[in-house]
Amino acid sequence: MKNELLIIGCGEIGTALIDGWLNKEKEFFKKINHINILETDLKRKKVLKNKYKKNISFIDLKKNKKIFKYVFLSFKPKDLNSNLLLYKDLFSNNTIFYSLLAGKKISDLKKYFIQNKNIVRVMLNTPISVNMGTIIFCTLKSNLNKSELFFLNLLGDVHKLKDEKFFDLITVLIGSGPAFFYYLLECFQNKAMAHGLNKSFSKKIMNNLFLGVAKLINNSEYDFKMLRNKVTSKGGTTEAAINSLKKSFFKKIINNSINNSIKKAKFLGLKK
Ligand SMILES: NC(=O)c1ccc[n+]([C@@H]2O[C@H](COP(=O)([O-])OP(=O)(O)OC[C@H]3O[C@@H](n4cnc5c(N)ncnc54)[C@H](OP(=O)(O)O)[C@@H]3O)[C@@H](O)[C@H]2O)c1
């Protein structure tokens, strides 16, 4: 039997979920009837309707008679509040919630979904939109069955985390991780442009640089440090660049930025 799926809050990460699933629509729609959405932002709703057309439906709370088996919570952490009680008729005790909310613990979610047998805390990133996401989850039940993992497996590489205490770190490394790389590429591109290379050429060579590095890492048995050492010959240009990063305490800068992000995740988790 096919099930009903609901996304509550469909911004950046909600659309990444849909893109990833629709890339594999044949498989996806074997198990799922339809992608249903609850979204409070009217402008956003228009954009979503134009983009996904018949593949999605918006829920009208007054008319809806469906009960949803799988519910993805993808609004901002601050929106985990009593407004959600308006949606209570959409769920049964068997509804499984997948929470993507940074900082919010399974115990925070349990307060809103008291009767529900399973809540899954998930951290993932926007590469799910091209089915190359990194997806980490913790669950209230001891494990997830094949059907419960199905939606996550379609989106990329899925890992179970036994201990929820690592989740704030995972949120930074995995959820925010893409932004670190985008920022580095942005710096490279800006420097290329400052030297007179044009914007599209600079972007093209940075794209290719990143793709090549990703592929090489994936095919190599060496760890990251070894890969770096292999391209850093003594007295050469790369060594000059890396030494300059070391002198500027690059490692410390990265450590501090991760620590600050973990702090923010903890703060968002506490904020009502
Ligand atoms: N973006 C990422 O790369 C990423 C990665 C991993 C995890 N996450 C997590 O994913 C969640 C969403 O992030 P995002 O970047 O996609 O945020 P976003 O772009 O702001 O999207 C959230 C959407 O949810 C809507 N919304 C808020 N409360 C709602 C409610 N009660 N019912 C229905 N819709 C509601 C918002 O509308 P309004 O504007 O009207 O409030 C907004 O359009 C966050 O909890 C974040 O921690 C994000």
Please list the residues that pair with 123 across neighbouring strands. Answer: 136
Last residue of a domain, one of 162, 196, 228: 162
Query: What is the residue with the minimal CA distance to atom 40 of ligand 1?
Result: 41
Residue 116's pLDDT is what? 76
Q: What is the CATH number of the domain that holds 197?
A: 1.10.3730.10
Structure tokens at 145: 């069955």
Q: For residues 157 and 188, state if they share a domain.
A: no
Residue 196's pLDDT is what? 98
Closest ligand 1 atom, CA of 8?
33
Q: For residues 127 and 7, state if they share a domain.
A: yes
Closest ligand 1 atom, CA of 179?
3
Q: What is the CATH number of the domain that holds 96?
A: 3.40.50.720
Q: Is residue 170 in a domain?
A: no
Q: For residues 202 and 78, state if they share a domain.
A: no
Q: For residues 113 and 43, state if they share a domain.
A: yes
Closest ligand 1 atom, CA of 77?
45
Q: For residues 35 and 82, state if they share a domain.
A: yes
Q: CA-CA-CA-CA torsion for 183, 186, 188, 192, nearest 10 degrees?
A: -170
Residue 143's pLDDT is what? 82
Q: For residues 56 and 148, state if they share a domain.
A: yes
> Domain tally for the chain?
2
Residue 71's pLDDT is what? 96
Give the β-pairing of 56-58 and 32-38.
parallel
Structure tokens at 48: 């979503």
Q: For residues 157 and 185, state if they share a domain.
A: no
Q: For residues 50 and 125, state if they share a domain.
A: yes
Q: Is residue 54 in a domain?
A: yes
Query: What is the residue with the minimal CA distance to atom 17 of ligand 1?
Result: 11
Q: Is residue 167 in a domain?
A: no
Range of the domain at 194: 177-270
User: Is the CA virtual torsion 246, 183, 152, 171 positive or negative?
Assistant: positive
Helix (H, G, I), strand (E, B) or coil at 230: helix
Structure tokens at 71: 């519910």
Please list the residues that pair with 138 across neighbouring strands. Answer: 121
- Encode the chain (272 residues) as per-residue pLDDT tens digits: 788 899 999 999 999 999 999 999 999 999 998 999 999 999 999 999 999 999 999 999 999 889 999 999 999 999 999 888 899 999 999 999 999 999 999 999 999 988 877 899 999 999 999 999 999 999 988 788 999 999 999 999 999 999 999 999 999 999 999 999 999 999 999 999 999 999 999 999 999 999 999 999 999 999 999 999 999 999 999 999 999 999 999 999 999 999 999 999 999 888 76
Distances (CA, A) of 81 to 75, 78, 148: 11, 7, 25
Given a contact cutoff of 8 angstroms between Cβ atoms, the answer to whether 149 and 200 are in contact is no
Q: Is residue 168 in a domain?
A: no
Residue 28's pLDDT is what? 96
Residue 140's pLDDT is what? 84
Q: For residues 136 and 193, state if they share a domain.
A: no
Residue with tokens 């800068």: 253
Q: Is residue 196 in a domain?
A: yes
Q: For residues 58 and 148, state if they share a domain.
A: yes
> Is ligand 1 within 6 A of the CB of residue 269?
no
> Is ligand 1 within 6 A of the CB of residue 173?
no
Please list the residues that pair with 120 across neighbouring strands. Answer: 98, 139
Helix (H, G, I), strand (E, B) or coil at 8: strand
Q: For residues 130 and 186, state if they share a domain.
A: no
Q: For residues 134 and 217, state if they share a domain.
A: no
Q: Is residue 172 in a domain?
A: no
